[in-house]
A and B are shown apart, each in its own frame.
Chain A
Amino acid sequence: MDEAFYEHLASVMVSDPAAASDLSVKLSGDRYELMSRPQQSYRSFIYDYASWTNQAGQGRVTLLEEQVAIQAGTTGLRTWTARQAESYLIPAFAC
């Protein structure tokens, strides 16, 4: 098995200093675990529209999102599934 997988897994296993301030304690079975709140993350959606394609032959949409579903009483910075479907369908009918 390639060592690149282990190296990458070891690098992401190290706790993120930026997330240290969001630590919380969670009861898991009979143990308490130290959990960090999910951070913002990029999500990339790859499409195959001819009008969107780049040199590699694929179109990509990248969004910066929160990883929690509810934030401050709203859905916050999170893409709705319906919006994703819409972004997928609109270029198909606009051409």
Chain B
Amino acid sequence: MIECFTRLRVCLGRLSDWIAFSAGTARLLRRLRPQVEWGSTSDSRGVTRPPLRGKTSATLGNCKSQTTLARYGNSAATSASLDSGRFQAQIPPALSFSPGDDSPLFSASLMQPLESLRRQHHALLPPYLLRLPPSTELASEGAQRFLIERVLRDVAISPYTAERGYERTFWRRIVAELERGVSGLHVQDDSCVSMHTILGRSYEGDRGGRSVL
């Protein structure tokens, strides 16, 4: 009888240890789960911000990627192709587009397609064969400055401009692409602003304010 009582006591002790271990593990997993699954972030004060998920995080990712930019002047030698890659040309660093210190920044990876577009324009490549960068990148302020200074008013060919009919078809396509890109940039900016606003309000709600979610 005493032996049975002792065994039962040992079993109950192991059971309580197991329950305590399970509860601790569950508590630990609950603490880790939001950070692992939804990528919620904590600031320097240790306050956890609302998690991001799905399309929202992708939109914010695009906004963030726009801030990782470099100046043309820092870009290394890149290659440009003319007319479907038959003419491979190396762009020396000296040709890097550097309008000035107060110039807007844009992606260094955009240098190659823009320089290629410049050469295609000067060589009168038919506009339907042009290979353009994405419209949102083409519509960026730096890319527009490049188009104006190195394509539209290029001093290298200033006395020998292209024929009026070619200019008409070329710039029709470019302007249409720019307008599409500018509208896309506005939509992107609005989504970024609204998401930051929502996150900010939600953050205020977590601290006791009025939540809009």
Contact = CB atoms under 8 A, between A and B. Distances in A.
Contact of B174 (A5, A43, A88): A5
B144 A8 contact: no
Contacts of A41: 124, 162-163, 166
B172 interface: yes
Given A1-B144, A57-B94, A88-B87, A39 B164 contact: yes
Interface stretch (B22-30, B33-41, B50-58, B152-160): B152-160
A32 B182 CA distance: 34
B7 interface: no
B89 A47 contact: yes
Interface magnitude class on chain B: 35 or more
Contacts of A60: 156-157
B90 A39 contact: no
Nearest to A45: B123
B91 interface: yes
Interface string B135-147: 0000100001101
A42 B167 contact: no
Given A13-B168, A41-B163, A67-B166, A5 B152 contact: yes
Given A1-B144, A1-B178, A2-B144, A9 B92 contact: no
SS of B interface (majority): helix
Nearest to A46: B119
B161 interface: yes
Contact of A4 (B82, B152, B161, B179): B152
A5 to B, nearest CB: 5
A13 B166 CA distance: 11
Nearest to B89: A48
B165 A1 contact: no
Interface of A: 1-2, 4-6, 8-9, 12-13, 16, 19, 36, 38-48, 53, 56-58, 60, 62, 67, 85, 88
28 contacts: A1-B144, A1-B179, A2-B144, A2-B148, A5-B174, A5-B175, A9-B175, A12-B164, A38-B166, A39-B164, A42-B162, A42-B163, A43-B123, A43-B124, A44-B123, A44-B157, A45-B82, A46-B118, A46-B119, A53-B92, A56-B156, A57-B92, A60-B157, A62-B157, A62-B160, A67-B124, A67-B165, A88-B87
Given A39-B163, A43-B162, 20 more contacts: A1-B178, A5-B178, A8-B152, A12-B164, A12-B167, A13-B168, A38-B163, A38-B165, A41-B162, A42-B161, A42-B162, A43-B124, A45-B82, A45-B119, A45-B122, A46-B119, A58-B92, A60-B157, A67-B163, A67-B166
